[in-house]
Amino acid sequence: MTPHINAKKEDIAKTVLMPGDPLRAKFIAETFLENVKLVNEIRNMYMYTGTYQNKPITIAGSGMGCPSIGIYSYELFKFYDVDNIIRIGSAGSYDAALKVYDIVNVMGAYGENNFAEIVAGVNDKVLQASQDIFETIEEVAQAAKIKTYPGIVHSSDVFYRKNADDWKKIKAEYNAVCVEMESFALFANALALNKKAATLLTISDSFISGEVTSATERQNNFHQMVELALQSAIKL
């Protein structure tokens, strides 16, 4: 147990899927897993373990932002011996080619903070996803005829900005195709602890077209991404 997770060590699977919203974790676990058990509810950050095609999988909420996922993913890797974490979340598109509900298989994450320097001792502004998980996701997607968009994600520390056009400079400098708030910290923890991490994102809104989805739509309609993550997880 840790200050933030009260699960027994044996109740956490070796592979964890991490949505940001704990209620989304609940929905995913109850919809897709069998033999589901609630294993953590401290701070209402729900974590569930069950089986998917007979393989143990944990679905764990991460909260919003690098500090939150930084705590939970570090503790899962370090104290619960988790080997693989796949973040499954939503993102805002920076690219006209990325439409609402398109799926991004993240190649790397650009971070606007010094999280990686502090936790892993590296100064890189872009951290890569674990290559073997990335490739597994691509192979599963291709077999299932699911279109994915590999790309760099902007892991932002700020949701409400004074300069609303900052994203244009970040897109140009780092070739970022979309924005979210967590992947950079997840990848830094994996690097620091010699673990594996990847991110799948469904586009929930577009900086180009202005199209948006509701929280309910994001919770209930991202099935294809979740199924892709689960099918990839059982191959790890």
Task: Report the alpha-carbon distance of residue 183 to residue 198 in Å, rounded.
Answer: 8
- Phi, psi (degrees; rounded to nearest 5) at 163: -105, 105
Task: Report the alpha-carbon distance of residue 47 to residue 105 in Å, rounded.
Answer: 23
Task: Report the alpha-carbon distance of residue 201 to residue 181 in Å, rounded.
Answer: 11
Number of C-beta neighbours around residue 109 at 10 A: 29
Mention every residue, 6+ apart, whose C-beta is less than 8 A from residue 191. 116, 120, 122, 127
Catalytic residue among 11, 21, 95, 205: 205
> Strands (DSSP E) along the chain, which ranges?
15-18, 34-40, 47-52, 55-60, 84-93, 103-111, 126-128, 148-155, 176-180, 196-206
Q: Is 205 a catalytic residue?
A: yes
Residue type (1 letter), 58 = T
What would the two tokens of residue 83 be? 């080997």
Q: Residue 175: left if φ>0, alpha if ψ -120 to 50, beta else—which one? A: left
The residues that are catalytic are 205
